Amino acid sequence: MIKMKKFPLFIALIFALFISGCGGDECDNLGDLLVGSWDIDVDGNSGGQVVFNADFSGVGSPQGVYDVEVDGKFYSVFNWNVNGDNLISYSYPVDGGGIATASHVGNLLDCDQIETGLVDLDFILRRIE
């Protein structure tokens, strides 16, 4: 039997356990987490913004990190996918029916920050609220 003096402490403990038990898995799936809009932080400088859509398409801001140059022309629209090892793969449809590809591992820092990169550039994605 719980005495009334300790009842508020007991309720607070149960609430804390409930909160810590909820949402623990919400950041486990990088593919699900990646969907949304992100600011790109390259060593404290802006690398533009990027949007990852649920249909595995995406678009980067002009002159940003995800605006890639192929044969002197820039492309910002891409398709993306994540495999089981958190490897993010990108494919950019380019003129003439070709596809430019790249991939980089994504490391979850927390639900709103992902450490990743593109080609030889490392950066951090920060979720836009």
What's the structural domain count of the chain?
A: 1
Counting residues of the chain whose pLDDT is more than 70, the rounded percentage is 80
Report the pLDDT value the prediction gives residue 28, as an integer from 0 to 100.
78
Report the pLDDT value the prediction gives residue 5, as an integer from 0 to 100.
56
For residue 35, the Cα-to-chain-centroid distance in whole angstroms is 7
pTM above 0.75, yes or no: yes
Instruction: Identify the bridge partners of residue 78 per DSSP, sorted by sequence position.
Output: 58
The residue range of the domain holding 122 is 30-127
Domain for residue 17, yes or no? no
Domain for residue 4, yes or no? no
Q: 38, 119, 33, 30: which is closest to 82 by C-alpha? A: 30
Domain for residue 52, yes or no? yes
Domain for residue 13, yes or no? no
Q: Which residue has the higher pLDDT, 96 or 56?
A: 56
Report the pLDDT value the prediction gives residue 118, as an integer from 0 to 100.
85
Domain for residue 16, yes or no? no
List the CATH number of the domain containing 68. 2.40.128
CA distance 10 to 26: 27
Domain for residue 36, yes or no? yes
Report the pLDDT value the prediction gives residue 96, as an integer from 0 to 100.
87
Q: Torsion angle, CA of 89/91/92/96, rounded to 10 degrees? A: 160
Mean pLDDT for 71-77 is 94
Domain for residue 94, yes or no? yes
Domain for residue 25, yes or no? no
Report the pLDDT value the prediction gives residue 40, as an integer from 0 to 100.
97
Q: Which residue has the higher pLDDT, 40 or 119?
A: 40
